[in-house]
Amino acid sequence: MTALTLTTFNWVPDIPRGYVRDIRVRWALEEAGLPYRVASVPFDARNAEHFAHQPFGQVPWLTDGDISIFESGAILLHLGQLSDALLPSDPRRRSAATEWVFAALNSVEMASLPWAILRFSGDGEETPGRKRMDAFLKGRLQHMEPILAQREWLAGGFSIADIAMADVLRLVDRFDGLAAYPACRNYVARATTRPSFVQAHADQMAHFAAADQAMSAD
Amino acid sequence: MTALTLTTFNWVPDIPRGYVRDIRVRWALEEAGLPYRVASVPFDARNAEHFAHQPFGQVPWLTDGDISIFESGAILLHLGQLSDALLPSDPRRRSAATEWVFAALNSVEMASLPWAILRFSGDGEETPGRKRMDAFLKGRLQHMEPILAQREWLAGGFSIADIAMADVLRLVDRFDGLAAYPACRNYVARATTRPSFVQAHADQMAHFAAADQAMSAD
């Protein structure tokens, strides 16, 4: 097997810690038990090499031998091809897990991320824009709720679909957006108590804490 | 080969016509020359069977034999596996095309769709929420611009990555959001003058126009 390297920022402010998208990749790697190393790029000075790997100047990206992949969804699909623990080999279940990765990112996160941005924009709760984005997210969550009440995981056993969906929903939960959706909350709790998530989260927090120590030692 | 069936709404209002996401699937099918049939579900009365295929009550979905797939991104990946005209077989280029499908949907459309929603919300242009969402989209487009100035297509030859990205950007263009991004506009023009897009667009318009005629004949 070729070496897997996950690249993330060397440091981020406190608020995004624990929520930087490298956690999706760490989680998958821990879940599959795949060996990997972590590399860092400067948060404050994004250079041409960074943009060559990630054209929007964000993180994470993954290198696997001579292939470099950005977009957490694409990385999850790539890792899924390396391990049945992440993506089932049965064609129907594999197709189901793949479509739910897209649903997490393109149907739910497309509503939840702008909702989170607007929530902290300073606009009043009753502005038309806030109300439309609240309704957009509600339209997604009200359909996820009965699905997650009936299923332990989205596509048979635990898969990359659950890494994507649980990570998207846990940001909504952080800002109290799941209060009316107990099945969604229970799903987030189910997913984030897995040892693979606990390890991935601790590793991300330790990675950024180490940067604080390095800076204070300068 | 098993039969491919694309399901879309029987009718939609005038404004979304030409932009319903089934066009991404039609475009890919035309590009690859894959035979398919089109089925319809009611726009006004979404039933349990609809939700069984598409859990958010949207369209499109695709059936391929006994596999049913929702999410336009997942459908594009599935069709890519059926045709080299959609997804190159070389591993590096295949990986590049896949990551750009995610980039189109999870990085660009995640900014552009909320931007379009807020634009018609009735909020003033200078409200903090509008300004944040304008900045979110600008942050994406300013990185796409030099990339699309240098490349004809995103991942070597034309692929599903271009179907996803061009369809996302053409909605921005519709609402005058690409005025400052000539390379993005030229890319949309390049993509949408392909015979496969022209056919797909004409077919979607004809599909909904036929519903108008059926209703007026009632």
Which residues have a Cβ under 8 Å from the Cβ of A84 and sit 6 or more positions away?
Answer: none
| A40 and A81 together in one domain | yes
Domain count, chain B: 2
| B97 and B63 together in one domain | no
Q: What phi, psi does A4 have (nearest 5°)?
A: -100, 130
Q: Which residues of B touch A91 (CB under 8 A)?
A: 67
| A122 and A106 together in one domain | yes
| A16 and A58 together in one domain | yes
Domain harbouring B141, CATH code: 1.20.1050.10
| Residue-level pLDDT, tens digit, chain A, 218 residues | 568 999 999 999 999 999 999 999 999 999 999 999 999 999 998 999 999 999 999 999 999 999 999 999 999 999 999 999 999 999 999 999 999 999 999 999 999 999 999 988 888 888 888 999 999 999 999 999 999 999 999 999 999 999 999 999 999 999 999 999 999 999 999 999 999 999 999 999 999 999 888 877 76
| B79 and B56 together in one domain | yes
| B161 and B200 together in one domain | no
Task: Let me know: does B86 contact B28? Beta carbons within 8 Å.
Answer: yes
* B216: closest CA of chain A, how far (Å): 31
| A64 and A145 together in one domain | no
pLDDT at residue A120 in the model: 86
| A25 and A37 together in one domain | yes
Give the residue from A106, A131, A159 with the most B CB atoms within 10 Å of its CB, the best one to mutate: A106
* A199: closest CA of chain B, how far (Å): 26
CA proximity to A93, closest of A154, A150, A137, A45: A154
* B91: closest CA of chain A, how far (Å): 9
Instruction: Report residue B2's pLDDT band, with 50, 70 and 90 as the boundaries.
Output: low
Give the residue from B102, B115, B136, B144 with the most A CB atoms within 10 Å of its CB, the best one to mutate: B102
Residue of B nearest to A59 (CA): B107
- Judged by DSSP in three states, A57 sits in coil
State whether A117 and B133 contact (CB < 8 Å): yes
| B99 and B189 together in one domain | yes
* A162: closest CA of chain B, how far (Å): 16
Instruction: Measure the CA–CA gap between B134 and B115, rounded to whole angstroms.
Output: 6
| B23 and B39 together in one domain | yes
Q: Report CA Rg, chain A.
A: 18
- pLDDT, one tens digit per residue, over A115-161 is 999 988 888 888 888 999 999 999 999 999 999 999 999 999 999 99
| A173 and A95 together in one domain | yes
Nearest to B129 among A55, A67, A121 (CB): A121
| A119 and A187 together in one domain | yes
The residue range of the domain holding B138 is 91-193
Instruction: Measure the CA–CA gap between A94 and A80, rounded to whole angstroms.
Output: 9
